[in-house]
Amino acid sequence: MKIITILTILFLLSCSDAPQQDNPDKPQPVPVKKEHALQGYQDQIQKAKDMEKEILKAAEKQRKAIDG
């Protein structure tokens, strides 16, 4: 009876998955290109510059209309 119990325990231990030796506490840093990281910021700046140009054009048209 003892032999069957020991063999069963050994069998179950051999079938179980071994724990991973990877270190999950330290994730690998993902390399990010500087251009990619700043692309959204640059797009917003360009939109702001375009909007400023449109506002200046509208203000110039308004001045011309007032001066008549």
pLDDT tens, position by position, 8-60: 887 777 776 665 565 556 767 777 676 677 888 889 999 999 999 999 999 99
Residue 8 lies in a domain: no
Kindly state whether residue 18 falls inside one of the protein's structural domains: no
Helix (H), strand (E), coil (C) string for 1-68: CHHHHHHHHHHHHHHCCCCCCCCCCCCCCCCCCHHHHHHHHHHHHHHHHHHHHHHHHHHHHHHHHHHC
Could you tell me if residue 58 is inside a domain? yes
Question: Does some domain include residue 66?
Answer: yes
Q: What local confidence, expressed as pLDDT, does residue 12 receive?
A: 77
Residue 59 inside a domain? The answer is yes
In a domain, 56, yes or no: yes
Please tell me the distance from the alpha carbon of residue 62 to that of residue 68, in angstroms, as a whole number: 10
Please name the residue that has the structure tokens 């051999």. Answer: 14
Whether 26 is in a domain gets the answer: no
Supply the pLDDT for residue 13: 75
Instruction: Determine the structural domain holding residue 58 and report its residue range.
Output: 33-68
Q: Tell me, what's the pLDDT at 54?
A: 97
Number of domains composing the chain: 1
